[in-house]
Amino acid sequence: MPIQPGDRIPEAVLQYIDDGVRKINAAELFAHRRMVLFAVPGAFTPTCSQRHLPGYVEHFDAFKQRGIEVACMAVNDPFVMQAWGKDQHVPAGLRLLADGNGDFTRALGMTFDASGYGMGIRSKRFALYADDGIVRGLWVEAPGELRVSAADAVLARLPD
């Protein structure tokens, strides 16, 4: 069953690049902070690169002004996420997290099979808002859409 509002963020290891490959436990990452995590099916894919991530880059300061941290996750390796961040001019502070084996995505119940596209198991496109590790909002896209998890849509639903 997919994660729901009221559920605690599960434990799973994510990776990112910061002077080398670093690992972080997702439950620890979300603890003691307000955070939006948005997930994309894949770095460098069309909708993810042309609309989804750019929306969060554009609205990053609005999230910061509300005291909300932002992270992007994909079932990709940390080197791909780092290269994508550079390509997309991601500002410092917007975390790009790699879920290389899809462990966190599985723990959230957000996988989908993209094998028909040669991509294997990937994350559904979604956004969630968590406060101190508890999910308070979850917006999962219908296949092929980008509406409810877009930055402006998420900002409109967040508490002040």
Parent domain of 24? 13-157
Residue 3, in any domain of the structure:
no
Whole-number pLDDT of residue 160? 75
- 118 is a domain residue: yes
Say if 7 falls within a structural domain: no
In terms of Cα–Cα distance, which of 69, 73, 49, 86 is closest to 130? 69
The domain spanning residue 19 has which CATH number? 3.40.30.10
47-64 pLDDT tens trace:
999 999 999 999 999 999
Domain count across the chain: 1
- Mean pLDDT in the chain? 97
Q: Which of 33-37, 112-116, 145-149 is least confident?
A: 112-116
Residues 10, 145 contacting (CB under 8 angstroms): no
Cα-to-chain-centroid distance, residue 121: 16
Q: What is the pTM of this model?
A: 0.96
Residues noted as catalytic? 48
Count other Cβ atoms within 10 Å, centred on residue 72.
25
